[in-house]
Amino acid sequence: MHIINNMSVSKKILIGFGFILILLLTVSIVGYKNITLLGDDFSQYRGLALQTNQSGRVQANLLETRIYVKDFLIKASDDSINNVNNRASKTLSYLTDLKKLVTQADKLEVIEMAKKNMKTYLDTFHEVTTKQKVRNDLVHNILDKVGPEIEKNLTQVMKDAYRDHNVEVEFHAGKTLRSLLLARLYTTKFLIDNNKTAYQRTQSEFAIMQKDVQELTSTLQNPDHLKLAQKINEQVTTYQKTIQDVYQTISTRNDMINNTLDAIGPKVADEMEDLKLSIKKEQDALGPKATAAVKLATTLTLSVSVIGIIFAITAAILIGSNITKPIKHMTNAMTNLAKGDKTVVIPAIGLKNEIGDMASAVQVFKDNMIKAERLQAEQEEEQAKKTKRANAVDQMINQFREEVTETLDAMATAATTLKEDSKNLSVISEQTAQQASTVAAAAEQASSNVQTVAGSADELSASVNEINVQINESSRITESARVKTENTNAFVNQLNESVMRIGEVVNLINDIADQTNLLALNATIEAARAGEAGKGFAVVASEVKNLANQTGKATEEIGSQIKEVQTNTRDAVSAIQDVTLVITQVSEISNSIVAALEQQSAATNEIARNVQEASSGTSEVSNSITIVNTAAQNTGTSASNVRTSAEGVDQLTLKIRDKIKVFLTNVQEA
């Protein structure tokens, strides 16, 4: 403890800050190490997550590729081929991206093998599409054409045999046709389900059919039928050979599908699933580990920080108290010493640091204060006797000088102010006289202008009254036009109703003409039934019918004219209503103008009255300006007198100041 007390303040502070820096460095190292470990775990976890996601993409696209392959095997469409190529390309691309993310050798080997198998899968699919195209060509271009031709030829032979009543040829032709139909039936079944049994049945049916063709040929006598039989035999051979080629093509295609596509697809899918599960297993193991590491890092960092803070606070308290206590004691001693307490004891004397040096200096200061106080007391006592009388004399002289100086300064200031005010007053009086003259002239001009305005206002009032009379007349005429228009409107409405009633009458006439025409038609029918006896009645009915038709045509023409009149009448009603509306608006505007002119007339009269009052006011202003001019001249004379008196007071004050100054100087010298 004695060593610490004698240690310098700078060393104590350096030790305290050094200890705190060591603790901060420790916390920083621990935190950095934990964050680095957490960063590594996070990077590894993120890498595994990316691998998992990429594996999922590979699986999804591989599955879609296999689905589109199945779709092609069912539909054999070009869209399925394009979809397979697109999805397989994406699968290979995602495998390449996954390979960039993976670093383990075993996983890289799995990915590489998957890429190789995927390429084989895609190449095999292309071969399958080629085989499928060959199969479609054979079926569509040969089987679908040759089969119907054989059936057509056999049918022709059967028809000819039936016509010739050749039962034997008809029987063998029917038997051959039956074998053909069975062969084609099992061919179709084989093309659908690719069943080998169906293919074998097809071959057996063709063998039977060849025998049937031979038997049919042996019964034929007609040269044309013999040619057809020869052609049928050739077509059967072609059909049978083609179905064998189709069988070979389909077998090869199915072999590639079953042994390559159906083997590689699930194999790659299983390998990618195992790869994804292994990555997920690592991810699942790393997740809790990283979480535990986060908790451990948090606990460790917090513990080290708390310990560091406790040690720092302890060190700060110990070092601070070791430094501040001696300084506080020294401050108290110096405060008491400054207050005059020379009995105070100086602390920390003897310490070998800055506090000890400070204590020695304060002790010297205390001793010198005691000596200075004693010498000052002696000097003050001697000096007090010498200066007592001089102070009394100086005090009286100074007091007299101050009082006299203040009085003279006040007099000089008052004189100066009075002189300046008199100058200003004189200038203002001159300006007032000039402005009064100007105002008088302006007042006379304003009086003249007001008289002129008064005359104009009277003329304006007369004009407004005349306009008011004309507007009233216009309103009367407009109102009369509006009343007449309303009467016209009512008349046209009645005309419109009459026209409508005429239209109804025309419709009634038209209906009567239709009924008359119908009765004439019935009469004509009855006359026709009556024969010779009804000829005269038929002539009359024909005339009546013609008359009804003419009446109908005339009625239609009248109806057309009536409709046109109705249309024109409605237009006239609408136009008159518009005119009535415009006239009403004009009437309202005229009334508004009359009201505005009445207001303007009243305002004009008010202006004339105000102008007369203004004329009287300008006369009064002119008289007042004359009085102001006289007062300004009197003020100028008084200001000149005041200025003369102020200059005299100023000269007198200067003389008194000089005399008193000489007097005080003489007194001080004495």
For the chain, the domain total comes to 2
DSSP 189-253: HHHHH--HHHHHHHHHHHHHHHHHHHHHHHH---HHHHHHHHHHHHHHHHHHHHHHHHHHHHHHH
**Per-residue pLDDT at 397 exceeds 70:** no
**Per-residue pLDDT at 567 exceeds 80:** no
77-96: average pLDDT:
88
pLDDT digits (tens, 9 = 90+) for 105-118: 888 888 889 889 88
**Per-residue pLDDT at 56 exceeds 50:** yes
Does the residue 384 lie in any domain? no
305-321: average pLDDT:
77
495-501: average pLDDT:
60
| CA distance linking residue 430 with residue 511, whole number of Å | 115
**Per-residue pLDDT at 384 exceeds 90:** no
pLDDT digits (tens, 9 = 90+) for 89-107: 888 888 888 888 888 888 8
| CA distance linking residue 65 with residue 59, whole number of Å | 10
pLDDT at 439: 47
Of 292, 307, 322, which one is at a domain's C-terminal end? 307
387-401: average pLDDT:
64
Contact between residue 412 and residue 650 where contact means Cβ atoms under 8 Å apart: yes
pLDDT at 628: 45
95 CB-contact burial (10 Å; exposed 0-12 / middle 13-18 / buried 19+): buried
Question: In whole angstroms, how large is the CA radius of gyration of the chain?
Answer: 69
pLDDT at 265: 85
| CA distance linking residue 606 with residue 585, whole number of Å | 32
Does the residue 347 lie in any domain? no
**Per-residue pLDDT at 190 exceeds 80:** yes
On whether both 461 and 587 belong to a single domain, the answer is yes
Identity of the amino acid at 233: N
pLDDT at 145: 92
Weakest mean pLDDT among 28-32, 412-416, 505-509, 514-518: 505-509
Does the residue 327 lie in any domain? no
On whether both 514 and 624 belong to a single domain, the answer is yes
3-state secondary structure of 8: coil
Alpha carbon separation from 221 to 178, 226, 230, 265, 324 (Å, rounded): 22, 7, 13, 62, 145
pLDDT at 561: 61
pTM of the model: 0.41
| CA distance linking residue 425 with residue 431, whole number of Å | 10
CATH number, residue 303: 1.20.58.920
Contact between residue 121 and residue 260 where contact means Cβ atoms under 8 Å apart: yes
| CA distance linking residue 238 with residue 232, whole number of Å | 10
Identity of the amino acid at 564: E
Does the residue 352 lie in any domain? no
592 CB-contact burial (10 Å; exposed 0-12 / middle 13-18 / buried 19+): exposed
Does the residue 538 lie in any domain? yes
pLDDT at 181: 92
For the chain, the residue count is 670
Contact between residue 507 and residue 479 where contact means Cβ atoms under 8 Å apart: no
**Per-residue pLDDT at 245 exceeds 90:** yes
Q: How confident is the model at residue 23 (pLDDT cuts 50, 70, 90)?
A: confident
Alpha carbon separation from 373 to 61, 341, 380, 590 (Å, rounded): 107, 12, 11, 113
| CA distance linking residue 583 with residue 411, whole number of Å | 92
Residue that the structure tokens 């080290």 belong to: 304
- Residues near 593 by Cβ (< 8 Å), separated by ≥ 6? 471
| CA distance linking residue 462 with residue 453, whole number of Å | 14
Counting residues of the chain whose pLDDT is more than 70, the rounded percentage is 52
On whether both 284 and 396 belong to a single domain, the answer is no
pLDDT at 508: 59
Residue that the structure tokens 């009603």 belong to: 573
Residue that the structure tokens 């139909």 belong to: 181
On whether both 276 and 397 belong to a single domain, the answer is no
Identity of the amino acid at 593: I
Does the residue 270 lie in any domain? yes
End-to-end CA distance of the chain: 75
35-55: average pLDDT:
72
Q: How confident is the model at residue 562 (pLDDT cuts 50, 70, 90)?
A: low
**Per-residue pLDDT at 197 exceeds 50:** yes
On whether both 279 and 398 belong to a single domain, the answer is no
129-150: average pLDDT:
91
pLDDT at 127: 92
Does the residue 403 lie in any domain? yes
On whether both 277 and 412 belong to a single domain, the answer is no
- Residues near 427 by Cβ (< 8 Å), separated by ≥ 6? none
- In the chain, DSSP finds a helix count (H) and a strand count (E) of 11, 0
Does the residue 423 lie in any domain? yes
Query: CB-hemisphere CA count at 13 Å for 290?
Result: 17
CATH number, residue 565: 1.10.287.950
**Per-residue pLDDT at 148 exceeds 90:** yes
**Per-residue pLDDT at 667 exceeds 70:** no
Name the residue with higher pLDDT: 555 or 309.
309
Range of the domain at 268: 22-307
| CA distance linking residue 391 with residue 397, whole number of Å | 10
Instruction: Return the DSSP state at 166.
Output: -
pLDDT at 534: 54
At residue 351, what are phi and psi to the nearest 5 degrees? Answer: -75, 145
Instruction: Return the DSSP state at 345.
Output: P
Residue that the structure tokens 């190449």 belong to: 123
Residue 1 CA to chain centroid, in angstroms? 73
- Residues near 369 by Cβ (< 8 Å), separated by ≥ 6? 337, 342
Q: Highest mean pLDDT: which of 28-42, 48-62, 144-158, 259-273?
A: 144-158
Query: CB-hemisphere CA count at 13 Å for 344?
Result: 22
Name the residue with higher pLDDT: 439 or 497.
497
Counting residues of the chain whose pLDDT is more than 90, the rounded percentage is 11
Of 283, 307, 331, which one is at a domain's C-terminal end? 307
- Residues near 49 by Cβ (< 8 Å), separated by ≥ 6? 283
| CA distance linking residue 181 with residue 179, whole number of Å | 5
pLDDT at 436: 47
Instruction: Return the DSSP state at 340.
Output: T
| CA distance linking residue 434 with residue 657, whole number of Å | 42
On whether both 414 and 547 belong to a single domain, the answer is yes
pLDDT digits (tens, 9 = 90+) for 509-560: 566 556 656 655 665 676 666 666 555 556 555 655 665 576 566 556 656 7
Residue among 479, 670, 488 at smallest CA distance from 573: 488
Residue among 506, 111, 164, 49 at smallest CA distance from 271: 111
| CA distance linking residue 83 with residue 69, whole number of Å | 9
3-state secondary structure of 49: helix
| CA distance linking residue 567 with residue 580, whole number of Å | 20
**Per-residue pLDDT at 189 exceeds 60:** yes
pLDDT at 59: 83
251-280: average pLDDT:
86
**Per-residue pLDDT at 440 exceeds 70:** no
Contact between residue 69 and residue 85 where contact means Cβ atoms under 8 Å apart: no
**Per-residue pLDDT at 664 exceeds 60:** no
**Per-residue pLDDT at 36 exceeds 70:** yes
25-54: average pLDDT:
72
Token pair, residue 378, equals: 């002696």
pLDDT at 526: 61
Residue among 244, 260, 269 at smallest CA distance from 128: 260
pLDDT at 378: 75
196-217: average pLDDT:
91
On whether both 120 and 223 belong to a single domain, the answer is yes
Round the average pLDDT of the chain to a whole number and report it.
Answer: 73
**Per-residue pLDDT at 394 exceeds 50:** yes
Of 260, 279, 307, which one is at a domain's C-terminal end? 307
Weakest mean pLDDT among 30-44, 181-195, 398-412: 398-412
| CA distance linking residue 112 with residue 73, whole number of Å | 28
